[in-house]
Amino acid sequence: MAGTLAEKVWNDHLVRRGTDGEPDLLYIDLHLLHEVTSPQAFEGLRLAGRQVRRTDLTMATEDHNTPTLDIDLPIADLTSRTQIQTLRNNAKEFGVRIHSLGDADQGIVHQVGPQLGLTQPGMTVVCGDSHTSTHGAFGGLAFGIGTSEVEHVLATQTLPLQPFKTMAINVVGELHPGTTSKDIILAIIAKIGTGGGQGYVLEYRGEAIRKLSMEARMTICNMSIEAGARAGMIAPDQTTFDYIQGRPHAPEGADWDAAVEYWKTLKSDDDAVFDVEIELNASDLEPFITWGTNPGQGLPLSATVPVPEEIADEGERIAAERAIEYMGLTPGAPLRDIKVDTVFMGSCTNGRIEDLRSIAKVIKGKHKADDVRVLVVPASARVRLQAEAEGLDRIFQDFGAEWRNAGCSMCLGMNPDQLAPGERSASTSNRNFEGRQGKGGRTHLVSPLVAAATAIRGTLSSISDLVADGDEEFRDIDMATLDGTPLAPLDPNVLVQV
Amino acid sequence: MEKFTTHTGVGVPLRRSNVDTDQIIPAVYLKRVTRTGFEDALFAAWRGDESFVLNQPAYTRGSVLVAGPDFGTGSSREHAVWALKDYGFKAVLSPRFADIFRGNSGKQGLLAAQVAQEDIELLWKILETKPGTEVTVDLENRVATADDVVVPFQVDDYTRWRLMEGLDDIGLTLQHESEITEFEASRPSHKPRTLPAKHLPSVTIEAARPVS
């Protein structure tokens, strides 16, 4: 029978089919842990006298609370320190692999899995974090879970789940230079709304998606949750295989051949039926930004701040009024005139090596706008090392940016990297909720290229603004390689076993 | 999880509707790393008020909460259920529960029993007239009794069965452990494992310092 990619992966993990309204029981291939949502799950195991069933399918890292400065000193915030110490203790007690602060493989959990080659096509991946959808870029079923479910997976390596509906998102056409996969996903969310994906697994398809690098695909799947979807996925292809091959946990020898043979079967059949299909033309896209306080409140950068009176739907009008007030904007004013205080470059959405390279290419030899704080936080310590090996850290520092250690950082402000009340940011992260980056902080979600141009000009800007400014140096940049082109991945040269 | 068939305990009349999860337990308590000890956080904002029902001696040791409609709306935090359980509540009676809260309750062995609004009013009257009156919640027959008043309640068959068998989700899944083991035996060898750990050589990470 014809099936979608999501259905195939689901069926391949079916331990037991539920009957009479009982959920299906699915096997989980990889369980990732971090310090915030795991302590009570381990406590639950302890109270019930249970063990971690498969420590060899489980891995922990520290990301949400970790500072990005002075990481060799004791963590100043006592609550953060306690959460991190608790994770370390639990990992030790239960025999779970952990990459702690100061370790080269510490970093945001959704970067660490892929960079180690642990995230592979056709897998089920879970983590107590909604952005687990990132891993779906490899063609697996990956989704965030609650603390009880974390405990359930630790104890049984399975999860009882009700089947999802499927939605195909066909992205046709070709991205213009200066637009990125971030613009694709922001446009999709603006189109279907923050609840548009509720109950669905999204599958991103079409020529524009096929041309994207692995990291650009991760950006798209990462934000599936912002459309309310349970998960997002992209069928694996040669780009996927090339990214995985040679990484520490990639299959080798005969296993590699068997894996690739299996991975090639992982695509929706031509006659598979999706519950919903929508289409987007990448050629129509220009850089996209959010103006409001949810990721669905986005517009092309050339647009103006919405005028609430012109919004027909009452609910949307009230939401827009409230958002405009919170964000301190003027209805009808050009988005390009909005001045920012801080530019945050990082997160599990856009803190990868390709993101840093594309930003560095734009800002090289320039200096940031006065009065703008620029924070660069690599997604993982390994990404930071790679960037330093390529000399990107110098480019950022010469630009006037702060070059930080890895973690979630200002994306959610659980560590000291926060916005002050009223402070406005252009951020390459994924959520612009009220107070997300700090109490009273105002967030505009942007692509790495918009972040770079904004840091140079001080107002929300795109690459085309730099060109219009007549920047001679900038004319030398090969626009085609700015994004969407597969660049060399992290150097997986030497393996060590510990 | 303990089996739940019948429970008898002091009934607490909570004459409020839309008791959301922020009222049940404020966000500030979510930073804790333990799963127990949330009893002090339950209804934290109201506990400072002397007239609040749980501050009245007759109700302090209550274990059956009788609340207004739309109990447990808001966030998905499981801490709301933990706080109720840690305080000593075994059952919450309400005309309507938020979906996620009801789901979380079932997972943690707290009975969320749906009772018609007029029956809630009846129970409130009894509990307020005679503070300290015990309520018996009979899950087998799906009825709650206070004095001579017997009211029916609803709970879905699957949740009722799980509570009566004392099966949490994990216990339930482990009933199928042989099927899990069988599935594991059939997993292809190319699937990755986190152990033994493989990674690139360890490198010292230089700590970034504040810019002056």
Q: Six-digit token pair at A36?
A: 């915030």
Q: With beta carbons less than 8 A apart as the criterion, state whether A67 and A39 touch.
A: no
Q: Which one of B199, B202, B203 would you mutate to disrupt binding with A, by most A Cβ within 10 Å of its Cβ? A: B199
Is the pLDDT assigned to residue A493 strictly greater than 50?
A: no
Say what the pLDDT of residue A476 is.
Answer: 58
User: Cα(A38)–Cα(A109) distance, rounded to whole angstroms?
Assistant: 13
For the residues A235-257, what does the mean pLDDT come to? 96
pLDDT tens digits for A352-406?
A: 999 999 999 999 999 999 999 999 999 999 999 999 999 999 999 999 999 999 9
Per the model's pLDDT, the better-predicted residue between B166 and A369 turns out to be: A369
Is the pLDDT assigned to residue A130 strictly greater than 60?
A: yes
Say what the pLDDT of residue A468 is.
Answer: 85
Say what the pLDDT of residue A487 is.
Answer: 41
pLDDT tens digits for B27-78?
A: 778 778 888 899 999 999 899 999 999 999 999 999 999 999 989 887 678 8
- Which residues lie closer than 8 Å to B9 by C-beta, 6 or more apart? B61, B62, B63, B64, B88, B90, B134, B135
Q: With beta carbons less than 8 A apart as the criterion, state whether A444 and A425 touch.
A: yes
Torsion (CA) A307, A308, A313, A316 in degrees, nearest 10: 110
Is the pLDDT assigned to residue A497 strictly greater than 60?
A: no
For the residues A339-362, what does the mean pLDDT come to? 96
Closest Cα in chain B to A38: B33
pLDDT tens digits for A270-303?
A: 999 999 999 999 999 999 999 999 999 999 999 9
pLDDT tens digits for A93-116?
A: 999 999 999 999 999 999 999 999
Cross-chain Cβ contact B194/A249 below 8 Å: yes
Cross-chain Cβ contact B194/A22 below 8 Å: no
Q: Is B175 on the interface with A (CB under 8 A)?
A: no
User: Cα(B100)–Cα(B79) distance, rounded to whole angstroms?
Assistant: 12
A105 contacts in B (CB within 8 Å)? 199-200
Is the pLDDT assigned to residue A496 strictly greater than 60?
A: no
B183 contacts in A (CB within 8 Å)? 15, 27
Query: Quick check: ipTM above 0.90?
Result: yes
Cross-chain Cβ contact B207/A148 below 8 Å: no
Say what the pLDDT of residue B94 is.
Answer: 97
For the residues A119-138, what does the mean pLDDT come to? 96
A41–chain B nearest CA distance, Å:
8
**Residue B187 gets which letter from DSSP?**
S
User: Cα(A259)–Cα(A120) distance, rounded to whole angstroms?
Assistant: 9
Bridge partners for B15 per DSSP: none
Cross-chain Cβ contact A56/B35 below 8 Å: no
Which has the closest alpha carbon to A241: A254, A257, A253?
Answer: A257
Say what the pLDDT of residue B185 is.
Answer: 98
H or E element, residue A180 = none
User: Cα(A460)–Cα(B107) distance, rounded to whole angstroms?
Assistant: 47
Task: Indicate the pLDDT class of residue A482, thresholds 50, 70 and 90.
Answer: low
Average pLDDT taken over every residue of chain A: 92
Is the pLDDT assigned to residue A479 strictly greater than 90?
A: no
Which has the closest alpha carbon to A170: A274, A290, A301?
Answer: A274
Is the pLDDT assigned to residue B178 strictly greater than 80?
A: yes
Say what the pLDDT of residue B135 is.
Answer: 98
User: Cα(A45)–Cα(A57) distance, rounded to whole angstroms?
Assistant: 17
**Residue A425 phi, psi (nearest 5):** -125, 150
Between CA A245 and CA A266, with CA A347 as vertex, the angle to 5 degrees is 35
Whole-structure pTM value: 0.87
Is the pLDDT assigned to residue A189 strictly greater than 70?
A: yes
Q: Are strands B6-14 and B134-138 parallel, antiparallel or unpaired?
A: antiparallel
A152 contacts in B (CB within 8 Å)? 169-170, 173
Say what the pLDDT of residue A370 is.
Answer: 97
For the residues A438-456, what does the mean pLDDT come to? 96
A476–chain B nearest CA distance, Å:
31
A22 contacts in B (CB within 8 Å)? 158
- Which residues lie closer than 8 Å to A325 by C-beta, 6 or more apart? none
Cross-chain Cβ contact B208/A405 below 8 Å: yes
Say what the pLDDT of residue A481 is.
Answer: 59
A104 contacts in B (CB within 8 Å)? 199-203, 205
Q: Six-digit token pair at A208?
A: 């524009």
For the residues A222-248, what does the mean pLDDT come to? 95
Bridge partners for A443 per DSSP: A425
**Residue A460 phi, psi (nearest 5):** -55, 120
Say what the pLDDT of residue A490 is.
Answer: 47
Question: Taking the mean position of all CA atoms in its chain, how far away is CA A50?
Answer: 33
**Residue B126 phi, psi (nearest 5):** -65, -45
Say what the pLDDT of residue A472 is.
Answer: 66
Per the model's pLDDT, the better-predicted residue between A55 and A129 turns out to be: A55
Which residues in B2-31 are b (16+ Cβ under 10 Å) and which e?
eebeebebbbbbbeeeebebebbbeeebee
Is the pLDDT assigned to residue A314 strictly greater than 90?
A: no
* Segment among A71-80, A139-148, A489-498 with least mean pLDDT: A489-498
Which residues in B105-114 are b (16+ Cβ under 10 Å) and which e?
bbbbbbbbbb
Is the pLDDT assigned to residue A134 strictly greater than 50?
A: yes
